[in-house]
């Protein structure tokens, strides 16, 4: 069966041009024509200048004077209006496509975040649908200009790759929307932290799923989202519809970093308000930096209390055997201790590397 393709003219002319030519042919002035059609002279000038449309009422009046049927005038006007609308659409698509080109579409299609698309218009529509917006301006207002302050403050204006980061965040929102969790309880969360810490120490093969279930039981949505090119984010915390959401990428594929990031995000939930969004690996202004430092401190003391850390450092024996003893004593995975010692530059980054568990959230 043949596919119908609408013929679209390369150019259409405003009916005012035809009217101008007809008045010249009739040797009639605009003033006289306005008088004969009972229309204001300025209106006729506007039509001839292409600055005003021919209305049905005008078309009928023109018919009486020019002997050209009303439908002729209306058809020219309709064709011209469609032509102008299509040109505007083409111009807007060209501008929007520049916006589209800033996103890692190939990876997003590979991950199944958007359907396979090829044409410029398909790509634009796929992204607008993905972000659940109608225009590029809406994306800018939401992600760059902090227009949603009543819900949470988010501005990617100062980031190097706001487009890729916004796509990663949006995917997390979609994942969170598909989850059901209990009503959030600050008390229940605090009481569950020892269980979470024990899960860190055991590090079973299904730790990621069990951690999600544990978070859901206290009202937290924990989602795992792969990194995108140009958006190397390890974790994020924000409140969505009054529900806390932690989004993690497992970017570094090392268990000590995964767990530190997780407890860092918990720190944001317990210590800070509902209106901020926190992105790890992003440079912040001083006020936000203070909150990041507070979350770091929460994660540090939760995983390995200061007193335990000082005890280990005072002893000064960082052998694998001794670290294992301390890990057992404080109920933590030895990778947490080694990672802390490496971070404080007390041991080389190559030391005790065999204690780290490699993780792959999406393998």
The CATH number of residue 82's host domain is 1.10.260.40
- Structural domain contains residue 33: yes
At residue 282, the pLDDT reads 60
Residue 202 domain-assigned? Answer: no
- Does 40 reside within a domain? yes
Q: Please list the residues that pair with 276 across neighbouring strands.
A: 153
Cα separation, 233 vs 226, whole angstroms: 9
- Identify the residue with better confidence: 146 or 99: 99
Q: How confident is the model at residue 258, as a pLDDT?
A: 96
Domain boundary among 75, 100, 125: 100
Alpha-carbon span 233 to 249, nearest angstrom:
7
- pLDDT for 46-91, tens place per residue? 999 999 999 999 999 999 999 999 999 999 999 999 999 888 877 8
336 assigned to some structural domain = yes
What distance in Å separates the CA atoms of residue 127 and residue 113, rounded to the nearest whole number? Answer: 10
Whole-number pLDDT of residue 9: 57
Q: How confident is the model at residue 309 (pLDDT cuts 50, 70, 90)?
A: very high
Number of domains in the chain: 2
Beta-bridged to residue 340, according to DSSP, are: none
- Residue at 66 is within a domain: yes
- What pLDDT is attached to residue 149? 38
Q: Which domain holds residue 87?
A: 15-100
What pLDDT is attached to residue 148?
35
Query: What's the average model confidence in pLDDT over 186-214?
Result: 96
pLDDT, tens digit, for every residue of 86-141?
888 778 778 888 899 999 999 999 999 999 999 888 999 899 999 998 888 889 88
At residue 250, the 3 state secondary structure works out as coil
pLDDT of residue 159: 52
Question: Cα–Cα distance between 336 and 113 in angstroms, integer?
Answer: 34
- Tell me which DSSP letter residue 178 carries: T
Q: What is the pLDDT of residues 28-40, one digit of tens each?
A: 999 999 999 999 9
pLDDT for 288 equals: 72
With H, G, I as helix, E, B as strand and everything else as coil, classify residue 359: coil
In DSSP terms, 358 is beta-bridged to: 254
71 domain residue, yes or no: yes
- Give domain status of residue 234, yes or no: no
Whether residue 212 is contained in a domain is answered as no
Distance of CA 267 to the CA centre of its chain: 24
Starting from the edge strand earliest in sequence, which strands make up the sheet with 278-279, in order? 221-224, 243-248, 235-240, 278-279
The answer, yes or no, to whether residue 157 has pLDDT greater than 60, is no
Q: Which of 44, 75, 100 is at the close of a domain?
A: 100
Mean predicted confidence (pLDDT) in 292-311? 94
Band of the pLDDT at 283, cuts 50, 70, 90? low
Domain end point (choices 49, 71, 100): 100
pLDDT of residue 359: 93
| pTM of structure | 0.76
In the prediction, which pLDDT does 197 show? Answer: 96
Per residue in 48-65, is it b (16+ CB within 10 Å) or e — as a string?
beeebbbeeebbebbbeb
Of 344 and 7, the structure prediction assigns the larger pLDDT to 344
């Amino acid at each position: 069966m043949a596919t119908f393709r609408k013929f679209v003219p390369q150019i259409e002319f405003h009916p005012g041009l035809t009217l101008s030519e007809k008045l010249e042919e009739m040797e009639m002035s605009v003033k006289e024509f306005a008088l004969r059609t009972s229309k204001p002279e300025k209106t006729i000038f506007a039509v001839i200048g292409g600055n005003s449309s021919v209305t049905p009422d005008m078309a009928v009046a023109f018919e009486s004077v020019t002997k050209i049927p009303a439908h002729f005038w209306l058809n020219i006007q309709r064709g011209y209006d469609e032509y102008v609308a299509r040109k505007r659409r083409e111009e807007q698509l060209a501008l929007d496509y520049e916006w589209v080109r800033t996103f890692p579409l190939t990876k997003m299609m590979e991950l199944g975040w958007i359907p396979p698309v090829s044409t410029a218009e398909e790509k634009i529509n796929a992204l607008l649908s993905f972000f659940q917006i109608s225009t590029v301006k809406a994306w800018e207002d939401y992600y760059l200009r902090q227009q949603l302050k009543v819900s949470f403050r988010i501005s990617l204006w100062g980031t190097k790759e706001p487009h890729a980061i916004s796509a990663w965040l949006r995917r997390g929102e979609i994942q969170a929307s598909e989850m059901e969790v209990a009503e959030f309880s600050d008390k229940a969360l605090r009481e569950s932290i020892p269980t979470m810490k024990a899960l860190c120490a055991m590090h079973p093969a299904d730790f990621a799923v069990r951690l999600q279930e544990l978070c859901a039981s206290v009202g937290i949505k924990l989602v795992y989202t792969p990194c995108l090119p140009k958006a190397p984010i390890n974790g994020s915390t924000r409140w969505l519809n009054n529900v806390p959401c932690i989004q993690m990428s497992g970017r570094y594929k090392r268990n000590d970093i995964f767990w530190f990031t997780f407890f860092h995000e918990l720190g944001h939930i317990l210590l800070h308000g509902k209106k901020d969004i926190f992105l790890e690996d992003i440079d912040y202004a001083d006020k936000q930096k203070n909150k990041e430092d507070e979350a770091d401190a929460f994660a540090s003391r939760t995983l390995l209390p200061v007193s335990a850390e000082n005890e280990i450092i005072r002893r000064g024996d960082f052998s694998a055997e001794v670290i294992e003893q301390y890990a057992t004593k404080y109920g933590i995975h030895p990778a947490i201790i080694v990672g802390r010692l490496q971070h404080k530059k007390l041991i080389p980054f190559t030391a005790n590397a065999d204690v780290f568990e490699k993780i792959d959230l999406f393998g």
